[in-house]
């Protein structure tokens, strides 16, 4: 991409009364290519219009630079035309004369006929030939905005800037005008930057969508590339596979920014009590059967028993929400996939976020489900699936819940062991757990790997079948862990131990078959999993409750407590780090011994277990044995990586 507009470390500060300042934007870095259509989106007050004004030259940067074709932008210019929400037409001039006013002012050196041709060309382009001699008072809102667009384009600007140009229009007019502008920009290869609050508008019109964080000191929180081909037509765009993924990504970002704003407004003080540094905790979880220990610790009073008087369980829809909650500090800790502490530590979020775990909350509980359609075509095993993929050239999609989850790592391992490249032979999509069955029904995925109850539900509803359980791939693998930031654990060591004690006691409670019915009833409630009781199987399914089609050989039972269940294992976390490095998601740490010791807080677990009378918990050391005969030990993980047949050229890094 040839850089057309460059914004480098740009910031804008506004003076306030009393000598104070408000930092609107800080550290904005953005490059825009010629002919690109860029949308700026974010909550009110995030600096979208301020950034647009800096590009327009209507305001100057406080720090950094903004350039157009290598020239500094310091003042307004007809090279950069702005279309505002309020049209800005002169009411005593006709449509023709409003456009002519701009053309005559900017392009006055052109011959009269050439200027007249330009005026009529752009009025025709926006579909207003019939209104050439009408005054603005005789036009609808949509027609007025088309005049404003024609006026901006008629002076042949290098850059078209749009500040919520369709915000005041009704939905039908807005949709028609969006299509018209998209068509014009495509045909003229106009470079455009648009401020919008409308998610669908951003996806439909843009090449890239720039998402701004909340102010003060707003920055770019993320940039989405819209891979929907042009020319675009609305009915075709909404059918494109990426449309709802992009839309969901923006909505997720906006919701997270809203939560961060609420957290900042609350400014909850740390409450110390009972010899603990902090007793008011926000703990995140995702609605899965594996959240049972947190639900039980809350409902049966284990948190209060150990001095944690004010624990709030925060229901997240996805593991991404858990990671962001930990990063942004509005979660003290969380139930998380067992690979997430290592993933965060190794830079999964783009920077290192040292995260630790002192408790494995569950083991097993996952399975690989394929669609019933594949079963009907004779796909009953991994070998069958590999054969089917070779025979059908179209792309097949599989759902996983997070790059760091055992679902992703187990599915990738299972596929690769059958000669299937998980990145080239299939497409893996990140989907929230509760969305898996919906997508399987809709046919947008061919299968998934996820925790219960979603595999059981797919079989129960006849839309899928379990082709492999995790017990067949790696029996006893870590499922969910308690994770906290390393700096949080250091700041609140006694609270950390108390938290582990409470949840470990809850794990013991969940492992008692006599409590299965009570736990099932609790998890079915909307504040936890929020599904039918028959979908939740604690201690194994009632096999007569649904037709579990062959080859669903064995249900993926959760293990909550017992021998080799709860103590964190450094070997297991290194296996996960090796698998994530194998697929190019994070680098493998050169200092793996040090990293594993920091991530796995074995000392905290041992203290917690001893203080609640569980000092006899046993733990078996040794290599990890996989279903394909391969083994993994912590002695030389780099040699293990070097001997893998299917991998992505892993990298090494020293992790601080």
pTM: 0.76
- At 549 the pLDDT is 46
Q: Which of 233, 259, 285 is the last residue of a domain?
A: 259
- Provide the Cα torsion 205, 206, 207, 210; round to 10°: -170
How far is residue 526's CA from residue 589's CA, in Å, rounded to a whole number?
41
Residue 629 lies in a domain: no
Q: What is the per-residue pLDDT across 53-93, written as a single tens digit (0 to 9) for each? A: 999 999 999 999 999 998 999 898 888 888 887 778 889 99
Identify the CATH number of the domain in which residue 423 sits.
3.40.190.10
Q: Does residue 246 sit in the same domain as residue 389? A: no
| Residues 437 and 444: beta-carbon distance below 8 Å | no
Number of other CB atoms surrounding residue 9 within 10 Å: 12
- At 548 the pLDDT is 42
How far is residue 263's CA from residue 275's CA, in Å, rounded to a whole number?
26
User: What residues make up the domain containing 418?
Assistant: 366-474
Residue 437 lies in a domain: yes
Residue 295 lies in a domain: no
Q: What is the per-residue pLDDT across 200-243, written as a single tens digit (0 to 9) for each? A: 999 999 999 999 998 889 999 889 999 999 888 888 888 887 88
Length of the chain counted residue by residue:
656
Domain count within the chain: 2
Confidence of residue 136 (pLDDT cuts 50, 70, 90): confident
**Helix axis angle, 570-582 relative to 406-417, nearest 10°?**
60
Report the candidate in 468, 493, 344 with the shortest Cα–Cα distance to residue 407.
468
Confidence of residue 545 (pLDDT cuts 50, 70, 90): very low
- At 256 the pLDDT is 83
Identify the CATH number of the domain in which residue 218 sits.
3.40.50.300
Angle in degrees, CA 487, 490, 493, rounded to 5:
140
Q: Which of 238, 259, 280 is the last residue of a domain?
A: 259
Q: Does residue 46 sit in the same domain as residue 163? A: yes
Residue 397 lies in a domain: yes
């Amino acid at each position: 991409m040839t850089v057309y507009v460059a914004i480098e470390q740009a910031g804008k500060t506004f003076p306030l009364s009393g000598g104070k300042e408000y930092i609107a934007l800080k550290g904005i870095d953005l490059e825009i290519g010629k002919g690109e259509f860029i949308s700026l989106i974010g909550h009110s007050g995030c600096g979208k219009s301020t950034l647009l004004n800096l590009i327009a030259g209507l305001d100057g940067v406080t720090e950094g630079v903004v350039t157009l074709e290598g020239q500094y932008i310091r003042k307004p210019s007809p090279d950069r035309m702005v279309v505002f929400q309020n049209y800005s037409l002169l009411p005593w001039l006709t449509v023709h004369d409003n456009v002519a006013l701009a053309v005559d002012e900017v392009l006055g050196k052109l011959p009269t006929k050439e200027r007249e041709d330009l005026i009529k060309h752009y009025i025709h382009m926006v579909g207003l030939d019939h209104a050439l001699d009408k005054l603005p008072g005789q036009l609808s809102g949509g027609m007025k905005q088309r005049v404003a667009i024609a006026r901006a384009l008629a002076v042949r600007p290098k850059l078209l800037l749009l500040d919520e140009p369709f915000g005041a229009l009704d939905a039908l007019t807005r949709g028609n005008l969006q299509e018209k502008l998209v068509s014009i920009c495509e045909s003229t290869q106009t470079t455009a930057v648009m401020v919008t609050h409308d998610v669908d508008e951003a996806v439909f019109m843009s090449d890239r969508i720039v998402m701004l964080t909340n102010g003060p000191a707003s920055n770019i929180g993320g940039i989405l590339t819209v891979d929907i081909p042009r020319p675009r037509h609305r009915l075709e765009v909404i059918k494109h596979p990426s449309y709802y993924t992009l839309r969901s990504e923006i909505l997720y970002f906006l919701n997270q920014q809203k939560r961060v704003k609420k957290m900042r407004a609350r400014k909850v003080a740390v409450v110390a009590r009972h010899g603990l540094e902090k007793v008011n905790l926000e703990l995140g979880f995702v609605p899965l059967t594996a959240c049972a220990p947190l639900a039980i610790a809350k409902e049966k009073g284990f948190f209060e028993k150990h001095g944690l008087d004010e624990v709030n369980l925060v229901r997240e829809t996805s593991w991404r929400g858990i990671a962001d909650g930990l990063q942004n500090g509005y979660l003290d800790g969380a139930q998380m996939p067992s690979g997430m502490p290592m993933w965060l530590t190794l830079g999964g979020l783009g920077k290192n976020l040292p995260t630790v775990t002192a408790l494995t909350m569950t083991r097993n509980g996952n399975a690989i489900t394929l669609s019933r359609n594949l079963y009907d075509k004779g796909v009953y095993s991994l070998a069958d699936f590999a054969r089917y993929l070779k025979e059908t050239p179209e792309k097949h999609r599989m759902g996983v819940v997070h790059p760091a989850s055992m679902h992703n790592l187990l599915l990738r391992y299972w596929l690769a062991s059958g000669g299937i490249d998980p990145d080239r032979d299939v497409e893996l999509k990140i989907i929230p757990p509760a969305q898996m069955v919906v997508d399987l029904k809709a046919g947008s995925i061919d299968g998934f790997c996820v925790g219960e109850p979603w595999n059981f539900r797919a079989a129960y509803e006849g839309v899928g079948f379990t082709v492999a359980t995790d017990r067949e791939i790696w029996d006893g693998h870590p499922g969910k862990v308690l994770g906290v930031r390393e700096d949080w654990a250091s700041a609140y060591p006694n609270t950390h131990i108390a938290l582990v004690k409470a949840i470990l006691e809850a794990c013991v409670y969940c492992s008692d078959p006599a409590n299965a019915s009570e736990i099932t009833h609790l998890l079915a409630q909307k504040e936890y999993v929020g599904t039918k009781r028959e979908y939740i199987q604690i201690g194994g399914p009632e096999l007569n409750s649904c037709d579990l089609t062959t080859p669903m050989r064995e249900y993926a039972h959760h293990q909550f407590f017992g021998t080799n269940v709860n103590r964190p294992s450094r070997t297991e976390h290194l296996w996960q780090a090796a698998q994530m490095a194998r697929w190019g998601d994070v680098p493998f740490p050169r200092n793996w011994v040090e990293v594993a010791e920091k991530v796995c807080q074995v000392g905290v677990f041992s203290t917690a277990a001893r203080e609640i009378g569980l000092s006899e918990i046993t733990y078996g050391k040794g290599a990890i044995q996989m279903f394909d005969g391969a083994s993994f030990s912590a002695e030389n993980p780099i040699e293990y990586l070097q001997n893998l047949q299917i991998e992505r050229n892993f990298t090494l890094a020293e992790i601080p």
